[in-house]
Chains A and B, each alone.
Chain A
Amino acid sequence: MSFIKKPIARHPNLPKNKLGLTRRDYEGALSTLCAGCGHDSVSSAIIEACFQLSIPAHRLAKLSGIGCSSKTPTYFLNKSHGFNSVHGRMPSVATGANLANRDLYYLGVSGDGDTASIGLGQFCHIMRRRLNMVYICENNGTYGLTKGQFSATNDKESKSRKGVDNMFESIDLAALAIQLGAGFVARSFSGDKDQLIPLIRAALSYKGFAFIDVISPCVTFNNHAQSTKSYEYFREHNEAVGFLDVIPENEEISVNYGEGKSIEVNVHDGSKMVLHKLNKSYDPGSRRKAIGKINDSRDKGEIITGLIYLDQNEEDLHDTLLTTEKPLNQLKKKDLSPGLKKLRQVNKSFS
């Protein structure tokens, strides 16, 4: 297997974004995942969201861990630098990268093996630190690349393809994210691009840690009748809390959804997020209620989707650490090295 280049022929009338780029300018190499894999739909959604936001691809760094999901950064944004790190360790690499240059977008893609098992510790701590990045977990409840072992997000009531019971409790990544300080927490489905694309757009516009748990079925190992991460199971049990519009800077909000049902949020990049709630009483600004909502839905056998929690206090790790505005990787010797005169003072303090 080698990585496969796509043909570069293009239709002349493709729509262009503010940068004059077409959607194709945001594509990557051809996917080598199984036909019908949920992950490919997520890649498409990422491409669409970045195209719509007119993100200069070179201003975005894409990072991943190990596994099927972590291969996907090859399949989108080929003008972006990518980093396929080691298993479960994408959060630490992303943290270092972000510390070095606070001006880029950071998009991390990992799976449930990375996120809920081997890298659970790093996942928890990156949220505590409120790193400014988007973390998408392509969650299929299984280890695809090693041929179908259960993962830690696989529900207890779910069975393997061969009918073997899963004996252990599952980890709810969205609930965990809310608990540990992620400011933007959403859940979606790879097959629902109408919901997923606005969520990715909003997450990219958000300053702070934005987490999207995307149920992304594994067609080969976990899409059977007794699985709770299959296309069919998801469609039957999805309970959306609402849907999201992202209104770019200088554009008016044109649709009115009725009083008390919409929440408008100004995002630091100048755009607006409008969350249209399906249930008037739901308050995505409360950690406690958001976690309660996840648990309630779960008890009812439903999978809650949409923007579940949003902390409007957009603050990131750099704000906490008081790092200088200019990206650290652009500082020069004169900014950094104190020089011999200062060294003499240090010498004096040890004499």
Chain B
Amino acid sequence: MTKVNDFVIKFANVNGSGSASANLMFAKTIFRMGIPVSPKNIFPSNIQGLPTWYEIRVNKDGYTARRDGVDCLIALNPQTYQSDLKELVKGGYLIYDSTMERRFPRKDINVIGIPMASICAEHYDDPRQRQLFKNIICLGALSVLFKIDISVLKGLIKEEFQKKPKLIEPNLHALGLGRKYAQENLSSDFDLQLKLMRQKSKKIMIQGNEASGLGCIFAGATVASWYPITPSTSLAEAFEKYLHMFRSDLKGNIKGAVIQAEDELSAIGMAIGANWNGARAFTATSGPGVSLMSEFLGLAYFAEIPLVLFNIQRGGPSTGMPTRTQQSDILSSAYASHGDTKQILLFPSDPRECFEMSVDAFDIAERLQTPVIFMSDLDIGMNDWVVDELSYNDKHNFDRGKVLSAKDLDSIEMWGRYLDIDGDGIPYRTIPGTHPSKGSFFTRGTSHDAFAGYTEDGRINAENLLRITKKFNKSTKYLPKSIRRNAKNKTDVGLIYFGSTAPAVDEAIDYLSEEGYNINKIRIRSFPFDRVLEKFISENNHLFILEQNRDAQMKFLISNELEIDINQFVSILNFDGSPLTAKFIVDEFKSKVKNNKKIVAKVKRSRTAA
């Protein structure tokens, strides 16, 4: 049976073999054909020689979460033949390099051999070329099998090698070699087909870290200090790229500075120093980095210094799974640092939101004079997602918050760095160098009074801590609101989720509704939690919380912060490091409600009604 625009293709490669760019070109070709596509790069913490996979889901209905079961496996790594083979669906295709012919222990699949290495050996002498062009030859053969619009693929190759034009012709040649082989030797009886579609809106294919780095440019960030760590590195690198692109003058001078620090302690220290001195600055890291930054996070919280920290979460604990995804830093970020501390968190769910929330994060940090932790993850940060084009409102001005100018200082009678003048808990700050005789103060992590003076008076310290709590509790008006959507039919079953699980949730809820399960959903976008979430919780009697960690961290945070009985929530947890599938959610949900007579009875009723 022919499958059009609805299947999963998986490339099994060896890392360091040049497969990544060829794989991306394949995914991007599908994207340019207007077909909803979502590639996931499953890679090892290694540079050369270990297995790596590239999984592409094509879905005409626009479902972009991962899906189990591979329809076409391009098996180019003998190390993983056995396990890869298991994932192939019945009747699926296995494509391999048949330079060395071999048998595969499954009779229910179609095996297609393409002698890629021997074609290469015939046409290229240089060993590196032989390896690199093997991927392009494979791409050529695939383009014939999948009936891909070849002009799209050729156009992509030309773009890819725009900066090295000498490579265009050899790549097109390799592509032609693969196509020729397929046309002459392979049966046209191939059931998976890619057909052009028309996109409903203008789309782009982009990674979250790229979008965040760009967002920081639009937000007016001028200082970035960071320490290399997967999966956040590409965020700082994207910022640096756009800094040179957009903020470099004719003399080559740059309106911004990027420092690769000696460690995460220093990276956050620099970002704090720059923010203290009135520049917009950020740092980007992942779990292990956040652990190291905790001490400074406490200082920024207590001394009330704005800061934007990107936490691109990966698999923990400890060094954990550096190249896999998780949402397992929720509690350690929300309560980062010793003593009574609470941090503002943002939860983007795709690269477009990464851009928007990165722009907003700096306004929030300066308005509230506190760190804002941007809780992305490896799946959003390092995979290519197809999203609507990025947009920006030129009329939006930076919200620098309560900063006093020299003129302001001259016109006021009394000023204290930590005085709550407006009753919102947010004091007024001054930037060094502003006024010759007014507005200087001593920033400290030790207990201080409203005038920033050192104090060991417990009552004064307690008052100050309560003011910061007031500021924190009132902060929700500046934060992105939760987004809720009710099921078509009235129900009191609710699902709470956040971040990169969104595509899997959307798909799962559709499947479940087809089976008669009506589910209201709400996507959390920030912490502290807003009224929208509180209302959702009060309106739904059966509440599920979906998250990618072992310990149900979001569940604990919600029940702790909103003072709700934790037994009111049922957790759906996944922490295997892979982006979620809708099937996982559907199966988990059904197994959790199996014994819940109320929910199952309602489903039966709605089926009868239908």
Binding site for B on A (CB under 8 A): 1-3, 56-59, 61, 63, 73-74, 78-86, 89, 91-101, 103-104, 121-122, 124-125, 129, 318, 321-325, 328-329, 331, 333, 335-340, 342-344, 346-347, 350-351
Contacts and interface: CB of A to CB of B under 8 A. Distances in A.
Interface centre among A79, A83, A339, by most B CB within 10 Å? A83
Contact of A91 (B206, B266, B441): B266
A85 B298 CA distance: 11
A337 B272 CA distance: 22
B220 A92 contact: no
Interface centre among B269, B398, B431, B443, by most A CB within 10 Å? B269
A96 B270 contact: yes
Interface stretch (B55-63, B254-262, B510-518): B254-262
Given A86-B299, A89-B296, A336 B220 contact: yes
Interface in B451-501: 453-457
B350 to A, nearest CB: 13
A97 B270 CA distance: 7
A80 B279 CA distance: 18
B149 interface: no
Contacts of A94: 273
Given A93-B272, A333-B398, A321 B279 contact: no
Contact of A99 (B220, B257, B392, B455): B257
Contact of B272 (A80, A96, A324): A96
Contacts of A337: 217-220, 392
Given A2-B455, A346-B390, 12 more contacts: A58-B440, A59-B433, A85-B269, A93-B269, A99-B257, A100-B281, A121-B263, A121-B266, A124-B262, A328-B257, A328-B279, A343-B218
A74 B223 CA distance: 28
B246 interface: yes
Contacts of A346: 214, 242, 390
A2 B456 contact: yes
A339 B206 CA distance: 19
Interface string B419-447: 00000000000111111110011111110
Contacts of B274: 96-97, 99-100, 328-329
Contacts of A342: 246
Interface centre among A56, A57, A93, by most B CB within 10 Å? A93
30 contacts: A58-B435, A59-B433, A73-B442, A74-B454, A79-B436, A84-B442, A84-B445, A89-B296, A92-B265, A93-B276, A95-B225, A96-B225, A96-B272, A96-B274, A97-B274, A97-B432, A100-B278, A101-B433, A122-B265, A122-B266, A122-B269, A129-B259, A323-B253, A329-B431, A336-B255, A337-B217, A338-B217, A339-B394, A340-B391, A340-B394
B508 to A, nearest CB: 28
Contacts of A93: 269-270, 272-273, 276
Interface stretch (B93-101, B139-147, B197-205, B598-606): B197-205
Nearest to B298: A86
A92 B270 CA distance: 5
Interface residues of B, number: 76
B440 A100 contact: no
B252 interface: yes
Contact of A321 (B203, B257, B261, B435): B257
Contacts of A89: 265-266, 269, 296
Nearest to B203: A351
A336 B456 CA distance: 43
Contacts of B214: 343, 346
A2 B279 contact: no
B297 to A, nearest CB: 10
A338 B255 CA distance: 12
B540 to A, nearest CB: 38
Nearest to A5: B453
Interface in B220-252: 220, 222-223, 225, 242, 246-247, 249, 252
A337 B217 CA distance: 6
Interface in B504-532: none
B432 A104 contact: yes
B276 A103 contact: no
A3 to B, nearest CB: 5
B66 to A, nearest CB: 22
Given A58-B434, A84-B442, A99 B266 contact: no
A323 B433 contact: no
B257 A81 contact: no
A103 B219 CA distance: 23
A347 B390 contact: yes
B137 to A, nearest CB: 27
A297 to B, nearest CB: 30
A129 B267 CA distance: 14
Given A74-B454, A83-B273, A325-B253, A333 B397 contact: yes
Contacts of A99: 222-223, 257, 259, 270, 273-274, 279, 281
3 pairs of A and B residues whose beta carbons are closest in the complex = A96-B273, A92-B269, A100-B279
Nearest to A25: B437
Contacts of B443: 81-84
A337 B362 CA distance: 13
Contacts of B247: 335-336, 338
Contact of B205 (A58, A124, A350): A350
Given A83-B276, A94-B273, A328 B261 contact: no
A175 B76 CA distance: 56
Contacts of B299: 85-86
A61 B249 CA distance: 29
A350 B270 contact: no
A96 B269 contact: yes
A331 B220 contact: yes
Given A3-B453, A82-B442, A100 B222 contact: yes
Given A99-B257, A323-B257, A79 B279 contact: no
A83 B277 CA distance: 10
Contacts of B551: none
Contacts of B267: 92
B68 interface: no
A286 B537 CA distance: 71
Contacts of A121: 262-263, 266
A100 B390 contact: no
Contacts of B455: 2
Contacts of A333: 220, 397-398
B108 interface: no
Interface centre among A56, A124, A335, A337, by most B CB within 10 Å? A337
A92 B397 CA distance: 30
B295 interface: yes
Contact of A61 (B256, B259, B432): B432
Contacts of B169: none
B271 interface: yes
